Amino acid sequence: MKAHIVTLPGDGVGTEVTAAAVAVLQGVAEHYDHHFAFEEHAIGGGAIDTFGEPLPAASLAACQRADAVLLGAVGGPKWSDPNAPVRPEQGLLALRAALGVYANLRPLQVHPALANLSPLKNEKLKDVDVLFVRELTGGAYFGAKTRSADSATDECKYTVTEIERVVRRAFELARGRRRQLTSVDKANVLETSRLWRSTVQRVAADYPDVKVEHQLVDSMAMLLLTQPSRYDVVVTENLFGDILTDEAAALAGSLGLLPSASLGNGTHGLYEPIHGSAPDIAGQGVANPVGAILSVALLLRHSLALEEEARAVEAAVHEVLQHGPRSRDLGGSAGTAAVRDAVLVALEQHACIHRAIFAGVRACG
């Protein structure tokens, strides 16, 4: 397979973890006989410094041409003035809107070897496997905004079309898993949530094989910490999804572990770890690249339809998390390069085993 992948390393540790993720993609290409062409562009704070805007036209055009986009992180203290007219996050929001990616997938699994890093007791973490589907282009983040000396407003607006498309994606994903869907809203207070709930209830009629439940967002925040293994696929609006998935990341032991995929109607997607630019450790070579590497697995699966390769990347990461080396946020001392190299070694072994099975031989040297 040939694929064109645009990388947007962004700011802070984004450059470091993106480089590790690209190395893994190059390893996949080598071991599975693919050709991936990479094209790097600017986004975020660095783009503001160089081009005066967080998403230069050249960056956006390249992303629109690509088969997939791999993003690092944006932002940092240098650009954190809330009164600044141009901010790094504006580039990310504009990119999501321009690419038409409306469903943000954030899988959460708790690795048994890392259970002690979670704030929850180990028995609560058994069999936790949740897929969050966050609506990505509507709600308060994209609504009209006003600001005066003594007041401010952020409009939260949703249309039936926006809700239905992300909910249908969630139902389809649930069909491929344990056939359970939890929809999160605030329908006892918010009109947008009442529209959300009624839309989910209508769409559910087309998926009689999927069990549906509704949870209010405040209750869900509690239940994620008390009964996390109860959930399969969780779908919710933009703001609620942003908050709940960061909360859920604590269950895994570190923000550095979790990937994400932002998808639209086709195969084109935007892939990124859920963590931020971590300016406090940027440039030290100690950032955990696992979230970015697992985002590569999602890229292979959803944009390139390379399921075997995606599973190989995930298996390689699993092996490294089990046996080490581990990065500092996971209680280890390994730097970004050491974790990357360990994943590459494990990936090579998995690819070798795959080739041996395919060739009908027993040994893999």
Task: Check: CB of residue 124 under 8 Å from CB of residue 228.
Answer: yes
Whole-number Å distance between alpha carbons of 138 and 282? 31
The pLDDT value given to residue 26: 98
Catalytic residue among 11, 102, 141, 329: 141
The single-letter code of the amino acid at 345 is V
The pLDDT value given to residue 359: 59
Question: What is the Cβ-side half-sphere exposure of residue 356, based on CA atoms within 13 angstroms?
Answer: 11
Name 146's bridge partners: 153
Task: Check: CB of residue 41 under 8 Å from CB of residue 59.
Answer: yes
Q: Is 218 a catalytic residue?
A: yes
Catalytic residue among 129, 154, 246, 341: 246
The pLDDT value given to residue 123: 74
Two structure tokens written together for 64: 């629109």
- Hey, how many other C-beta atoms are within 10 angstroms of the C-beta on 213? 11
Catalytic residue among 11, 232, 242, 329: 242
Catalytic residue among 2, 49, 218, 280: 218
Name 194's bridge partners: none
Name 132's bridge partners: 106, 234
pLDDT in tens, the chain (365 residues): 999 999 999 999 999 999 999 999 999 999 999 999 999 999 999 999 999 999 999 999 999 999 999 999 999 999 988 888 899 999 999 999 899 999 999 999 988 888 888 877 777 788 899 999 999 999 999 899 999 999 999 999 999 999 999 999 999 999 999 999 999 999 999 999 999 999 999 999 999 999 999 999 999 999 999 999 999 999 999 999 999 998 888 888 888 999 999 999 989 999 999 999 999 999 999 999 999 999 999 999 999 999 999 999 999 999 999 999 999 999 999 999 999 999 999 999 988 876 666 655 455 55
Q: Is 341 a catalytic residue?
A: no
Given its phi and psi angles, is residue 75 left (phi above 0), alpha (psi -120 to 50 degrees) or beta?
left
Q: Is 186 a catalytic residue?
A: yes
The pLDDT value given to residue 125: 81
Q: Is 145 a catalytic residue?
A: no
The pLDDT value given to residue 147: 92
Task: Check: CB of residue 75 under 8 Å from CB of residue 88.
Answer: yes
Find the Cα–Cα–Cα–Cα dihedral 248, 250, 256, 262, rounded to 10°. 10
Catalytic residue among 186, 207, 271, 329: 186
Q: Is 246 a catalytic residue?
A: yes
Name 3's bridge partners: 36
pTM of the model: 0.91
Domains parsed from the chain with CATH numbers: 1-102+257-365 (3.40.718.10), 119-252 (3.40.718.10)
The Cα-based distances of 163 to 176, 189, 191 in angstroms read: 21, 18, 13
